[in-house]
């Protein structure tokens, strides 16, 4: 049987076109970098751009990065591509806004950048689609200040392994800090909208941040609000399936699960888990401890059937609320958002999920949502502040219900 399996693998390799074999490494790192999530608009072609992203300056539209000569990156040389990806400078010399996570991509290796370039030029279908204009006020749209911003807040290209750690840890650090650009969402921002840290040496790195009405939790070893209660197996399972005994992916993390981390090897997922488990807690906090079951009429009517009377849920499909980091996050933005708007589908390698959070925007008032969430944040041993009604009202105005459409982009 082993000989038959080896023969089948050999024949499969021979049947695969040479260009596909050559671009496999590039496709892998493009998956790790999740380029398709930002450079594809809902209902559009993969990598053709057009996705609108809100920033403090205004709305920025993602660009076409298919190899179309006129509207994409088809005329880019490898040097042009490298400069854009790792330094944030386009082929014509203008500076990119750091909504493109080049401060993280700067850590990509020369070999991975070359593999990505090969993949885009040989395996991605060119799409003729003109980039829509950004919606930024004229005085704020000047690009030259970005040269100063880059000099102050970015690092020189290349990843420097830490000799104090083994190869597995350093592989995890490379994937998280570089192509995975986890800090772009999970690291707090400074006065100039820069990430306060770009690597493990700083306690601010991956300490949690709020972005687009979602609160990205700490990925450090904070017991209540981070990954302190997760094992390495828990972390790898979450990245591979979008679920584990502690949580289910939602918000911006849904795009990561739909298009990126499930495609990584088990070896790389384990390396990421080892790296994240090494990051010490960033701040003192009140740890979760089980407490007697309490009741609330609104919770019992609208939440208890899935999340259970004691908030224990039914993992991995119905996450627990007792001891859940998103529940006790100091910033309740995610909790408000998902209650108002529900969760969009998780699609793991083309397979949509069967269970997800419904939206309660129509069924519940701002006051009722605030009451339920305040109860959840203080019940069963959770220790978090009450949710102000005004916070719910403001998010209701700014946000929309999650789409039921399956968002899964085929990269070939």
In a domain, 114, yes or no: yes
Distance in angstroms (rounded) separating the CA atoms of residues 275 and 166: 10
Distance in angstroms (rounded) separating the CA atoms of residues 86 and 157: 6
pLDDT at 60: 86
How far, in whole angstroms, is CA 227 from its chain's centroid?
Answer: 16
Confidence grade of residue 404 (pLDDT, cut at 50, 70, 90): low
Number of helical H runs and strand E runs in the chain = 18, 6
Find out whether 218 and 201 touch, Cβ atoms under 8 Å. Answer: no
In a domain, 1, yes or no: no
Q: Which domain holds residue 70?
A: 19-124
Q: Please write the tens of the pLDDT for every residue from 37-72.
A: 999 998 899 999 999 887 777 888 999 999 999 999
The residue that leads in pLDDT, 164 or 10, is: 164
In a domain, 77, yes or no: yes
Find out whether 216 and 209 touch, Cβ atoms under 8 Å. Answer: yes
pLDDT at 371: 98
pLDDT at 408: 55
pLDDT at 55: 76
Distance in angstroms (rounded) separating the CA atoms of residues 240 and 266: 8
pLDDT at 277: 98
Q: For residue 74, what is the domain's CATH number?
A: 1.10.760
**Which residue, 402, 404, 406, is CA-closest to 349?**
406
Distance in angstroms (rounded) separating the CA atoms of residues 327 and 341: 16
Q: Please write the tens of the pLDDT for every residue from 347-357.
A: 898 888 888 89
pLDDT at 145: 84
Q: Please write the tens of the pLDDT for every residue from 262-296.
A: 999 999 999 999 999 999 998 777 667 778 888 89
What is the pTM for the complete model shown?
Answer: 0.91
In a domain, 87, yes or no: yes
Could you give the angle at the alpha carbon of 46 between the alpha carbons of 181 and 34, nearest 5°?
15
Strand 209-211 with 214-216, pairing = antiparallel
In a domain, 65, yes or no: yes
What is the residue-averaged pLDDT of the chain? 90
Number of independent structural domains in the chain: 1
pLDDT at 84: 97
Find out whether 246 and 224 touch, Cβ atoms under 8 Å. Answer: no
Residue-wise over 382-393: b if at least 16 C-beta within 10 A, else e?
A: bebeebebebbb
The answer on pLDDT for 261 being more than 90 is yes
């Amino acid at each position: 049987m082993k000989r038959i399996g080896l023969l089948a693998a050999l024949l499969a390799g021979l049947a695969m076109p040479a260009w596909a074999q050559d671009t496999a490494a590039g496709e892998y790192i493009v998956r790790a970098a999740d380029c398709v999530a930002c450079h594809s608009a809902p209902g559009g072609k993969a990598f053709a751009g057009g996705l609108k992203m809100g920033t403090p300056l205004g709305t920025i539209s993602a660009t076409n990065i298919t190899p179309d000569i006129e509207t994409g990156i088809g005329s880019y040389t490898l040097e042009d591509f490298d400069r854009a990806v790792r330094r944030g400078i386009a082929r014509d010399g203008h500076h990119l806004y750091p909504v493109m996570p080049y401060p993280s991509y700067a850590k990509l290796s020369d070999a991975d950048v070359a593999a990505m370039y090969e993949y885009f030029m040989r395996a991605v279908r060119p799409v003729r689609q003109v980039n829509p204009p950004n919606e930024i006020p004229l005085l704020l749209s000047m690009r030259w200040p970005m040269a100063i911003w880059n000099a102050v807040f970015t690092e020189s290209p290349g990843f420097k392994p830490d000799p104090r750690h083994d190869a597995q840890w350093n592989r995890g650090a490379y994937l998280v800090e570089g192509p995975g650009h986890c800090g772009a969402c999970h690291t707090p921002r400074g006065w100039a909208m820069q990430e306060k840290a770009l690597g493990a040496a700083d306690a601010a790195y991956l300490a949690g941040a709020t972005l687009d009405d979602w609160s990205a939790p700490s990925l450090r070893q904070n017991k209540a609000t981070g990954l302190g209660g997760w094992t390495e197996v828990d972390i790898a399972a979450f990245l591979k399936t979008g679920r584990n005994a502690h949580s289910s992916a939602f918000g911006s993390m849904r795009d990561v699960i739909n298009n990126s981390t499930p495609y990584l090897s088990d070896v790389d997922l384990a390396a990421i888990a080892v790296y994240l488990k090494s990051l010490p807690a960033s701040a003192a906090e009140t740890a979760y401890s089980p407490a007697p079951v309490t009741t609330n009429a609104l919770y019992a009517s609208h939440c208890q059937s899935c999340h259970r009377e004691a908030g224990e849920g039914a993992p991995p499909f119905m996450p627990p609320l007792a001891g859940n980091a998103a529940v006790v996050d100091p910033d309740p933005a995610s909790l408000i958002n998902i209650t108002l708007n529900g969760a969009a589908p998780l699609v793991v390698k083309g397979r949509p999920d069967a269970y997800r959070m419904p939206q309660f925007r129509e069924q519940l008032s701002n006051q009722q949502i605030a009451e339920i969430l305040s109860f959840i944040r203080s019940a069963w041993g959770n220790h978090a502040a009450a949710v102000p009604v005004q916070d719910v009202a403001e998010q209701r105005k700014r946000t929309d219900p999650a789409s039921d459409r399956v968002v899964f982009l085929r990269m070939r």
